[in-house]
A and B are shown apart, each in its own frame.
Chain A
Amino acid sequence: MKLDVARIRKDFPILEQTVADRRLVYLDSASSSQKPRVVLDAMTDYYETTHANVHRGVYGLAVEATERYEGARDRVARFIGAPSSRGIVFTKNVTEAINLVAHAWGRTNLGPGDAVLLSEIEHHANLVPWLMLAEERGVELRYLPMADDYSLDLSDLDRLVDGVKLVAVTAMSNVLGTLTPVRRLADAAHAAGALCLVDGAQYVPHLPTDVTELGCDFLGFTAHKLCGPTGIGVLWAREELLEAMPPFLGGGEMIRDVRLDGFTPNEIPWRFEAGTMPIAEAIGLGAALDYLDGLGMEAVREHEVSLTGYALRHLTERFGDELTIHGPAEPSARGGVLSLALRDVHPHDVSQVLDQDGVCVRAGHHCAKPLMRRLGVGATARASLYVYNDTDDVDALADSLGSASDFFAL
């Protein structure tokens, strides 16, 4: 089934805005997506009718709030094909999810002489927690390089994976759009006796996700990139791994018993949810997943492959050598993230001109500085696509890039 973008656009209140009498062209969903009304309504409704702290009261409201919060957990489990909700931990975002693993699993299982395999195309969120661990306890970090076609270069995988305890990779690059071979990496990790963590921040919002098919042991993602609210993210992990992990943050909710001389941690997943959690946000996330499943994730992916193909063709035809698009040429090998370099015009200047036309793109290093160095650029202007974008948005982008090119003509 094809997405009806005109109808979908009506679900997003923010897209009713105009800039200089033209419709808002929002092309920064890789950074954060917009929210449909059903998500906003779910959160407001919760506050207006059901709010109370969860897991803490026997009165009706508290019970209902708890049911809604735990219902959101079940919803997440279904969305990613997790065998049970016990493997679903709510976090603040994917950054916290990865830090949780680095802290609770990493500090239990990694020491001097142990190695972790990452890749050169990671977001800082999947680099810095491991760099911190490397600094703190001498863990060795290895990196899968990027090939010239912007895929991960696996030619040396056997050697690199040998002896590592964890392979931690993104499933989709937030700069290049590259889809990585997660299944193959997870299998290689397991064959080497290692675990596999996947940063699903860019993947889960855009492709049907099934943790069993991916074959990974940990998967993190963030709600605000998939039509959900900010302030909530998810760590999924195989239950036996969570069972064996000590708590991350300490406080209320994550304990079973506290004495003055010690404590007993709670069961999973609550062991990892210290303090009052973002309850309304969890409910908003549940509503976002309902919304996406209503569209159908297969249809979402199909729409994005076709729109990305249109954008790649159209921009290449119009700008030729003037425009570099850092990412795979084949739409089926990538997501709808277009990192653009217009001649030698700085991305800041490009996005300034685009802003005048109401075209929102992100200029910068996209929290992937090692990848920027590998690409030999300081920054790119990144346009990214989602369910509410159509060929009109791509055409507006192309026209605005044309203006930028003229404005900065030497």
Chain B
Amino acid sequence: MPGLEDLYREIILDHYRNPRNRGELDAPPAHRVEGFNPLCGDEIIVYLDVDSDRIADIRIAGQGCSISQSSASMMSSAVKGRTTEEARAVTRAFKAMMSIHESSLDGEPDGLVGGADGSGGGDGDVKLGDLEALRGVVKFPVRIKCATLSWNTLAQGLDEATEPV
């Protein structure tokens, strides 16, 4: 049986205790997107300020377990200041890391997991950095949803923010 240290790496606990980019942005002009994990009641709210294709600012609100909160915190650091295309590439790479079990768990129809096969193009070069610490989550299949909640919410936010008007 995998041990707790496989799941709760030090860097994860650090992001949980000291979440980055916590707070809210005025929406509008920012985009506000909510994500729910109906299984456990975790809720996440992502605020995105997208300025000509770049994520100028991002804030995270809501509540959840250490895995969902730390994943959201790391996500916000990873995509802040990046272009929406870059943010999508990181999202695909992260979801690929998590998708090993997720697709077989419930076949989530969000179309993002598709990027896992490399069809996103060049995602193999994406450096996940600190996010690698979340790799241990796949050994705890019920917690994968916690780790991907903020990313699914971000993906939805990016789609809304970049929709042609």
Contacts and interface: CB of A to CB of B under 8 A. Distances in A.
Interface string A321-345: 0000000000000000000000000
B4 A348 contact: no
B66 A364 contact: no
Interface in A372-404: 372, 378-379
A352 B7 contact: yes
B41 A365 contact: yes
Given A348-B40, A348-B143, A372-B41, A378 B64 contact: yes
Contact of B41 (A20, A369, A408): A369
A410 B17 contact: yes
Q: Which of A20, A348, A352, A369 has the most CB of B within 10 A?
A: A348
A357 to B, nearest CB: 10
A365 B40 contact: yes
A364 B65 CA distance: 11
A353 B4 contact: yes
A10 B92 CA distance: 50
A340 to B, nearest CB: 15
B41 A346 contact: no
Contacts of B66: 346, 348-349, 408
Given A365-B40, A379-B41, A407-B8, A348 B3 contact: no
Contact of A364 (B1, B41, B43, B67): B41
A356 B39 contact: no
A349 B41 CA distance: 14
Contacts of A365: 40-41
B1 A346 contact: no
Contacts of A346: 64-66, 69
A402 to B, nearest CB: 14
B73 to A, nearest CB: 14
B146 interface: yes
A365 to B, nearest CB: 4
Interface residues of A, number: 18
Interface string B125-162: 00000000000000010010010000000000000000
B64 A356 contact: no
Interface in B11-68: 13, 17, 39-43, 63-67
A379 B40 contact: yes
A319 to B, nearest CB: 20
Contact of B146 (A348, A356, A378, A410): A348
A356 B4 contact: yes
Contacts of A410: 17
B147 to A, nearest CB: 12
B15 to A, nearest CB: 14
A347 B41 CA distance: 11
A353 B13 CA distance: 14
Given A347-B40, A378-B63, 9 more contacts: A348-B66, A348-B67, A348-B146, A349-B67, A352-B140, A353-B4, A363-B40, A378-B40, A379-B40
23 contacts: A347-B40, A348-B40, A348-B64, A348-B143, A348-B146, A349-B8, A349-B65, A349-B66, A352-B4, A352-B7, A352-B140, A352-B143, A353-B4, A356-B1, A356-B4, A363-B40, A364-B39, A364-B40, A364-B41, A365-B41, A378-B40, A378-B42, A407-B8
